[in-house]
Amino acid sequence: MAFLRREIARIESTGATGLPRNAPASRDYGPAPAFLSAARLAGGLHEIVPASAPDSHAALMLGLLLAASCGREKPASGLVLVVEDFVALETGAPYGPGLIEAGIDPGRLVIVRTHDARDTLRVMEEALKCAAVAAVLAESAIPERLYTLDASRRLTLAARAGGGAGLLVPLAFAGGAARVSSAAATRIEARRRSSSVALVGGNRLGLPGPPLIGARLVKARGVFGFDPEKVHEVAFHAFSLHLPALPRHGPDPAAAGFSRSA
């Protein structure tokens, strides 16, 4: 009973999450690198290659982050997510609540299911030609023999014509970001990173910070002087602003329009 009383007192003083009422939810990771800006991604083809096979989810998560960023830049445009049959079997189908948590508006999202890599390339090309599309994200098991210079050039020209961003996650290229030749404007290697732990309140284990992705710029047309070995930590935030803390003992009665009677 004494333990329960202490826990109840701690929760009432810090809030249900264990965070101090006026403390920020997590440390500030700073702005994303310039090569990940939505303005630079628009109108081009960009490849997000997993650093290894287990990093495929990190690459897709980075793709979702970039697609959501492009969507915020063009709020009147839609987003296209291309799901390949084999990839869906390997990594799972899109999960609605997870997409929302990633900052993707389901009302603006079109999900296209494709049979194989050839269908994925065709769907990407046609979708990128549409001016009403902010970004097209495709996770594909395309082999190197199909992803030729001609195929990537067609996607590049389509993105340039429509003005949207083409984001391709080629799972078969895992661990080989430096060996592939293509017409893409950017190639990023994505890898898993451990989130920092914030020690708050009386919780000795702390709370996990936002998911982190390690992004290494391998290739970038028009960008000079970058370090191809540097890994940038990108925090995966669905919301860019922290919500204001509530009063410790509930809403302020005066602000809510209530008054005490004599």
Q: Which residue has the higher pLDDT, 115 or 98?
A: 115
| Local structure of 232: helix, strand or coil | strand
Contacts of 113 (CB under 8 A, 6+ apart): 83, 84, 85, 88
pLDDT digits (tens, 9 = 90+) for 118-154: 999 999 999 999 999 999 999 999 999 999 999 999 9
Instruction: Return the CATH fold of 32-239.
Output: Rossmann fold (3.40.50)
What is residue 169's three-state secondary structure? Answer: strand
Q: What angle do CA 173, 174, 180 make, to 5 degrees?
A: 35
Q: Which residue from 177, 188, 184 is spatially nearest to 222, judged by alpha carbons?
A: 184
Global confidence as pTM: 0.75
pLDDT in tens, 34-64: 788 888 899 999 999 999 999 999 999 999 9
The residues spanned by each domain of the chain are 32-239
Residues 6+ apart with CB under 8 A from 94: 81, 83, 111
